[in-house]
Chain A
Amino acid sequence: MIDFLTLTIEAAIKAALMILSLLTGFAYTTLLERRFIARIQQRVGPNRAGPWGLLQPAADGIKVIFKEDIIPNGADKVIFTLAPALTAIPALIILAVVPLGGDVNVFGYRTSLALTSTNVGVLYILAVTSISVYGITLAGWSSANKYAMLGGLRSTAQMISYELAMGLSILAPVMVVGSMSLADIIDAQKNVWLVVYQPIAGLIFIITMYAETNRAPFDLPEAEQELTAGFHTEYSGMKFAAFYMAEYMKMIGVSVIAATLFFGGYRLFGLENLLGGWMGPVILIGKVMLSLLLFVWIRATLPRFRYDRLMDFGWKVLLPIALANAAITAVLVVLDPWWYRLI
């Protein structure tokens, strides 16, 4: 009983820390995006609030909290209020099963840098992804606004279409490793990253992760030329900020998952054992930063898809390739070529 209590307190601290770091990550990802995209467009970007604009996220937060919260006529008030929370929560809990580092000592207490480990980790991620559709759909519906409704429907159709390719692209590495536990998947990448074995699956996962987070070039749900602001047209104040928060947290979440599944997670050729294991999370943060920079770079570079092409790409290109990749991987694992034994 006492043991269970200790473990629960430990988990509560880890959970609070995880949410706090996601919050900090969100705040500074917005700044990173604005500064980096400004550089690409030959501008300076926000640099007045604090040194290098480092206090800009705090300033934005304070500004938005004093804004009026408008609920339009005809909206479904309860769901209109719930929708931003429903969008944010999946983004906050999706990393629960991902190990963010190895074992470390904290004041003489040995603990692992993972909230929990479960043997269905990959399925947990898929389950949370499938739930995360609701927030945007309901936001679009409850606004009683035609742009919002169309944006919500579009976004749902887009997310479910790309969810399939995403699920199939994760299947191949699971087959190679033979486990759905993310700790096992990271351990299997001690010597060789899984992206070397599964380049196609890795590429499909990276493409689908842009679609799942509704980021450019897949930001159809909020295509401003056609739909004003899509599903959050009618939102203002803190509720609007909650959608923003969810989007950036999802970006961080999928980046961590991509790094874990295909790019060795917190491991980097044994360097993660330095500093008593604290190097692991630093390495992971480095990988996530690279992924976030790629997100911003792509947003600044690529134009938006047309909707019919987006659906065609998901169903007629990504899904067949992902299916074929799963079947080919199955055959390869049976044949067991010598390069599969490096794991």
Chain B
Amino acid sequence: MGEWTFIALLFIISLILPAVPIIAGRLLGPRKPNPLKNSTYECGVETVGDTWVQFKVQYYIFALVFLIFDIEVVFLYPWAVAYHQLPLFGVVAGIVFIVTLAEALIYAWRKGALEWV
């Protein structure tokens, strides 16, 4: 428990570092807003349309595939740590797990889900 309190301590101290300069910048810097200055930047012309519109679905597929592999990686860590003491059966099980997920990768690859179009 102790070690995590220290990390919490570091976290609290680390909040100060970005907060102090940003607040100081706000207090010390000039504030002369005008409509032109505050307008959204789009290479000098007025913005056309809304920013928060529908984007490419491809980003979403990558996030989904990432999620699946992320879970795999996390599962493999206890395996790696206990590796030296595991029976051979457990070792084989881990490799089977890796192969299953490699299959998933090959499937996604062949189906063109990893293609950036």
Binding site for B on A (CB under 8 A): 4, 7-8, 11-12, 14-16, 18-19, 23, 64-74, 81, 84-85, 88-89, 92-93, 96-97, 115-118, 122-124, 126, 130, 141, 143-147, 149, 153, 156-157, 160-161, 163-164, 167-168, 171, 174-175, 178-180, 228, 233-234, 237-239, 241-242, 245, 307-308, 311-312, 315-316, 319-320, 323, 326-327, 330-331, 333-334
* B70 close to A167 (CB less than 8 A): yes
Chain B residue at minimum C-beta to C-beta distance from A123: B77
Residues of A within 8 A of B73 (CB): 126, 164, 167-168, 171
* A115 close to B7 (CB less than 8 A): yes
* B98 close to A327 (CB less than 8 A): yes
The CA-CA distance from A241 to B21 in the complex, in Å, is 9
Please provide the 4 A-B residue pairs with the shortest distance between their CB atoms, ordered closest to farther: A238-B25, A92-B14, A116-B3, A308-B116
* B25 close to A160 (CB less than 8 A): no
The CA-CA distance from A67 to B30 in the complex, in Å, is 7
Chain A residue at minimum C-beta to C-beta distance from B24: A65
A-B contacts, 5 listed (Cβ < 8 Å):
A65-B28, A88-B14, A141-B52, A237-B29, A319-B69
User: Known contacts A68-B29, A164-B73, A311-B116: does B102 contact A323 (CB below 8 Å)?
Assistant: yes
Residues of A within 8 A of B29 (CB): 65-69, 237-238
Residues of A within 8 A of B22 (CB): 69, 81, 84-85, 238-239, 242
Q: Give the interface size bracket for B toward A.
A: 35 or more
Chain B residue at minimum C-beta to C-beta distance from A73: B38
* B2 close to A163 (CB less than 8 A): no
Among B9, B32, B109, the one with the most A-chain Cβ atoms within 10 Å of its Cβ is: B9
The CA-CA distance from A199 to B83 in the complex, in Å, is 20
* A66 close to B41 (CB less than 8 A): no
Residues of B within 8 A of A147 (CB): 41-42
CB of A291 to closest CB in B, whole Å: 22
Main secondary structure of the interface of B (DSSP, over half): helix
The CA-CA distance from A237 to B31 in the complex, in Å, is 11
Q: A67-B25, A126-B74, A145-B47 are in contact. List 8 more A-B contacts (CB 8 A).
A: A19-B17, A69-B29, A70-B33, A92-B17, A116-B6, A157-B63, A179-B81, A312-B114
CB of B14 to closest CB in A, whole Å: 4
* A238 close to B24 (CB less than 8 A): yes
CB of B109 to closest CB in A, whole Å: 7
Residues of A within 8 A of B32 (CB): 68
The CA-CA distance from A126 to B109 in the complex, in Å, is 25
CB of A42 to closest CB in B, whole Å: 32
User: Known contacts A65-B28, A157-B63, A164-B69: does B40 contact A174 (CB below 8 Å)?
Assistant: no
CB of B67 to closest CB in A, whole Å: 9
* A84 close to B18 (CB less than 8 A): yes
